Amino acid sequence: MREHVIDRFAIPGSDVQGPVLGGMEFRSFMRERVLRRLTNLSKSAAVPSDPAAWLEAFDQLTSDYDRAGGRLLHMDLRAENVCVADGKIVAVLDVTNAMVGDPRCEVGRLEAYGSASDDFLGGYGVSPEEIHRDPVVALYAVDTTAMLALLARDELDDDDMQRAMVRRTAELLRLVLARH
């Protein structure tokens, strides 16, 4: 998978390289957040809920992150947040969710939202088939589908959306656990 253009993030005036999320390194942040979301979701939905197996899969599948380093992630890429003029991106809006981390996380989020178009994926040098088979992208997509299931349950009162996101979360978890 081709990496983002920004090679490495550095905080000016410091020796910190890579992501800092509330004082946490990206992998630790994502590991904790996804585990929290899955634990919360498993209280009301049938999702595979073996935390030890999931944590082992997460650690194993993301072990190459330190070598790859962090990239700037937008984490809310969608048409409404991208300004295009003459066929070129001229601005990206709404950076409130931005972080530095694994570019596969951004792709996983887009895949979970159904926004990973062939053109977008082509920019990463991958095909849709490769993305759908990539267990690391699936692992990061779990973060988004679990979040959407919780949002549907707790804030939107949308049973159809909740069922769909619980089903997709369970599918992704099975893929992740089977491939690690």
The domain limits of the chain are 26-71+102-179
DSSP code at position 156:
I
Nearest in space to 108 (alpha carbons), one of 33, 5, 16, 19: 33
Quote the pLDDT of residue 15.
41
Quote the pLDDT of residue 49.
67
DSSP code at position 78:
S
In the three-class reduction of DSSP (H, G, I as helix; E, B as strand; rest coil), residue 75 is classed as coil
Nearest in space to 113 (alpha carbons), one of 91, 94, 140: 140
Separation of alpha carbons 169 and 129, rounded Å: 19
Lowest mean pLDDT among 19-33, 83-97, 161-175: 19-33
Quote the pLDDT of residue 29.
87
Residue type for 135, please?
Answer: P
Higher pLDDT, 110 or 21: 110
Q: Rounded mean pLDDT of 33-41? A: 91
State how far Cα 71 lies from the chain centre. 13
pLDDT at residue 48 greater than cutoff 80: no
pLDDT tens-digit readout, 129-172 = 777 778 888 999 999 999 999 999 999 999 999 999 999 999 99
Residue type for 151, please?
Answer: L
Lowest mean pLDDT among 26-30, 37-41, 117-121: 117-121
